[in-house]
Structure 1
Amino acid sequence: MIQKAFLFFACLILSTSVFAQTPTKWRGENNSGIYNETGLLKEWPVNGPEILWSFEGLGEGHSSPVFANGLIYLSSMIDSKGYIFVFNQDGKLQWKKEYGNEFKDSYPGARSSVVVAGDLMYMYSGYGVLYCMDANNGNAKWTKNVFEDFDGQNITWGVTETVVVTDDVVYVTPGGKKNNVVALNRFTGDLVWTSAGKGELSAYCSPLLLKLPSRTLLVTHTADHIIGLDAKNGQLLWDFPHTNRWKVHPNTPIFYNGSLFCFSGYGQGGEMLALSDDGSSVKEVWSKKELDSRMGGMVVVDGYLYGSGDNAREWRCVNWETGAETYVDKSIAKGVTIYADGMLYCYSERGELALVEATPDAFKVISQTKVELGSAQHWAHPVINNGRLFVHHGDALVVYKIK
């Protein structure tokens, strides 16, 4: 009996340790904007969901919070300096740590979200500096100036890439001619491999790491192409032309049913690309100019794409396989969408926060409120965690009860 109890607790400790080491990701598990929570409210109170807590005094920023080690991590900027704010689950500030200069030019503020993996966390500034810090106190472990070290250069509105971390590697896009995408040892910052890619500037994109049976694929946008790299060695496996007026491609590609959907704003729209089984090639299936979300992402649920556009400002539902529209709607302004438990959570650029039924039949707004706290643009992507909806709006983090 004692032996069985020991084995049980040993397994529990091991599983907890493995879970704690799992790196956080931009837009949740699989970078998909899909949050696997259940029992959430199907309708909000008349005045909107209850605010459990809020924190004001963050400064400026457009990032999303992440959750690890029982804590909440969020990047922001105060007086041109970037900070990591760390809260407990009740919203009490545990500590904050300055990491360096942050983007203070057009649309100032921290752009990228923190990535936490066990006792380490990673932050990529709008000026192209990658910081590795102790997740327990923010103390520096190592720093890389990605532009200086890898012949990269900044882009108009500052790099906006939440880096990808896995196992012992961190992937980042300098956007250089020779060192277009690089993999670094996440413990030391040493170069693991470098890829020339297409030799184009980066494009505000947070990459998608896709584990296939035969290889792991890294998919991202650069200025004029979508590229697929072998994540083991950086080999460029394929590329597909994709550009727009300003070379802004901030949406992480979506993978579903063996295909990739890659999309950006300013009227460019998106392309559905069938991916070969081994990830070595793609083939266009369909394209649609109206699916031109500039920075709001989209979600795929039960074979349907949901999201809003940029030039095409309406909210749309589109069949994943065919590209055929099932509805077009203007009930709220264009913006960000995420999904959980049968519902879309739509956050518009005007601050509208809407609970929408995820059905291809119509854009059914069930409940709606407005984000009043905070400052500047309503651009940060909301996050769902443990029955709560987190919205970062500039100076404020607002936490709603949705369960």
Structure 2
Amino acid sequence: MPNRLLKNKTMKNQIKLFIISLILFSSGVQALAQKISEWRPENRTGVSAETGLLKSWPAEGPKLLWENLELTKGNSSPSFGNNKVYITGTEDGIDILYALDMNGKMLWQKAMGRAWNESFPESRATPTIEGNRVYTCSGIGDLACFDGNTGEKIWAYQASEENKGTYGNWGIAESLIIDGEKLYFSPGGPETNTIALNKTTGEIIWKSESIDDKPGYVSPILVQYAGKKMLINVSLDHVYGVDISNGDILWKVGHVNPREGRDNILCVTPLFKDGKVYVTAGYNIGSYQIKIAGDANSAEIVWTDDVLDVHHGGVVLVDGYIYGSNWLNNANGNWCCLEWETGKKMWEEPWNCKGSVIAAEGILYIYDEKRGNVGLVKATPEKFDLVSSFKIEQGNNGPFWAHPVIHNGILYIRHTNALMAYDIKEK
């Protein structure tokens, strides 16, 4: 073969190998950066990044695509991956992970751990999905990792029990959070407040010191601030930051207006922006904002509020304003808007009952917990501006506590044993 032809053939082979290498490298990068589906997207803010959604609904509500009435009772929200919907329920003292297809058909169900065995035992933590793995937390603090396609249990760890964890009056409600190779959980108690596990094996990487406090019913957030990456969580007596590189407690702040002799009701994932953290609790405790110091080694309260004492429906921050519903002395509660920078009340209005809230495209999606009304409200500090509403009729008796979720133009609403999917995409 002439040298020129041999050289051309060699160059072609090298180009082919280079292209194959690029494809493999690209696949590897994609695998490392797999999208996570979890509690209150995006990044646990409850403010969806989805666009092109309906700005109003018909009187009967958006189109119902499907419903599944085969679940057992639970209050978790759905999460997504592997062309499946994952959600939990409780039966005979066991929390169960369900996998549905994207049309709501039941594919399989697996026991994930021991359920909470006292008041309100229904499942509560939302599954966390990364790639082909599903991570769950039961009401008693049993953690597990499943194959997202087959349901095979990959590992399990009785995290609260093994770490001398303690419980408030309503057990554990923490949706697990993933960060690189780590998975975090907060058992509380005398031994440690927060632990980091290897997400692949379930083995312990580090344990934080103990602040000798019971865990709240909160799913924490991860933030980057002052050159440090920290986990911010809420226990029954404190809000605190953990250095995720080694488990050090960076700062902690005691709650305002704690209930003497009784557990606080701390269920709301905190909000974070520009070094400030917003925390709220029901039972007339109110809310407050703290500022983390420039070195991230301390924090202090900058304002307090006695209007927005959120029970467990969550809050969202939209364009500089906080939206949620208050407890109001164990009555139906009102819907409220506060200014982020000052805590100033912008409005407070009744609508059916307090409940959960998420947001997308400058619109609030609210779900009243007593009667099951779903509302579409403009996120404006000017007034409570209800655009549309409809009522959920499906599901067994019980409160409407599961938070709504928007995924690929579909609004998912749960009520006890029922999960419904509504088309909210603009046509």
TM-score range, shorter chain: over 0.9
- Map 1:209-224; keep pairs closer than 5 Å: 209-212=222-225, 214-224=227-237
Matches within 5 A, 1:140-179: 140-179=153-192
Structure 2 match to 1:254: 271
2:400 corresponds to = 378
The amino acid of 1:336's aligned partner reads: S
Equivalent residue of 2:47, what SS? coil
Partner of 1:289: 306
Q: Is the deviation greater in 61-70 or in 212-221? A: 212-221
CA contact (8 A) 1:176 1:196 kept: no
For 1:17, what is the secondary structure of its paired residue?
Answer: helix
Q: Equivalent of 2:203, from 190, 198, 206?
A: 190
Matched, 1:37 2:59: no
**TM-score, normalising length from structure 1?**
0.94
**Aligned residue runs from structure 1 range 17-96, under 5 A:** 17-19=31-33, 21-96=34-109
Alignment partner of 1:362 is 2:379: no
Alpha-carbon displacement from aligned partner over 1:185-217 (angstroms, at most 9, x marks no partner): 112222111112411111111111112361111
Pairwise mapping of residues 263-282 of structure 1 onto structure 2 (< 5 A)? 263-282=280-299
1:147 is paired with a residue of what secondary structure? Answer: helix
2:126 is the alignment partner of 1:126: no
SS of residue matched to 2:36 = coil
Equivalents in 1 of 2:107, 2:60: separation in Å? 31
| Other-structure match for 2:342 | 322
Residue in 2 that maps onto 1:235? 248
Aligned residues of 1:263 and 1:271 also touching (Cα < 8 A): yes
Opposite residue 365 of structure 1, the aligned amino acid is L
Instruction: Please point out which of 198, 213, 230 is paired with 1:200.
Output: 213
Q: Cα distance 1:33–1:87, how it changes in 2: closer, same or farther (>3 A)?
A: same
Offset from partner CA, 1:93-148 (integer Å, 9 cap, x none): 22222223323432231111111122222111111211122222222222211232
Q: Structure 2: which amino acid aligns with 1:364?
A: D
Query: Could you say what the CA RMSD is over the residues aligned between the two structures, in angstroms?
Result: 2.0
Q: 1:180 to 1:361 in 2, by over 3 A?
A: same
CA distance in 1 between partners of 2:172 and 2:282 (Å): 17
Q: d(CA) in 2 for partners of 1:9 and 1:136?
A: 25
Give the secondary-structure state (helix, strand or coil) at the position aligned to 2:43. Answer: helix
1:333 matched to 2:346? The reply is: no
* Distance (Å, rounded) in 2 between the aligned partners of 1:175 and 1:10: 43
Preserved contact between residue 264 and residue 281 of structure 2 (Cα < 8 Å): no
Q: Which secondary structure state, in structure 2, belongs to the residue aligned with residue 31 of structure 1?
A: coil
- Aligned 8 A contact 1:238 1:282 in 2: yes
- Superposed displacement of residue 275, structure 1: 2.1
**Which segments of 5 or more consecutive residues in structure 2 lack a partner in the other structure?**
1-11
SS in 2 for 1:148: helix
Shift of the alpha carbon at 1:5? 7.3
**In the TM superposition, what whole-angstrom CA distance separates every residue of 1:340-383 from its partner, at most 9, and x where no partner exists?**
01210000112110000111111111001111111211011110
TM-score (norm: length of structure 2): 0.89
Q: CA deviation at 1:279?
A: 2.7
Counterpart AA for 1:46: A
Name the counterpart of 2:374: 353
Which residue number corresponds to residue 415 of structure 2? 393
Q: Residue 18 and residue 332 in structure 1: after superposition, are their counterparts in 2 closer, same or farther (change >3 A)? A: farther
CA deviation after TM superposition for structure 1 residue 9, in Å: 5.2
Bigger Rg over Cα: 2
Gaps of 5+ in 1: none
- Overall identity of the aligned pairs, in %: 36
Q: Distance in 2 between matches of 1:311 and 1:155?
A: 22
Name the residue aligned to 1:342. Answer: 362
Amino acid at match of 1:358: A
- 1:197, 1:227 within 8 Å by CA — same for their partners in 2? no
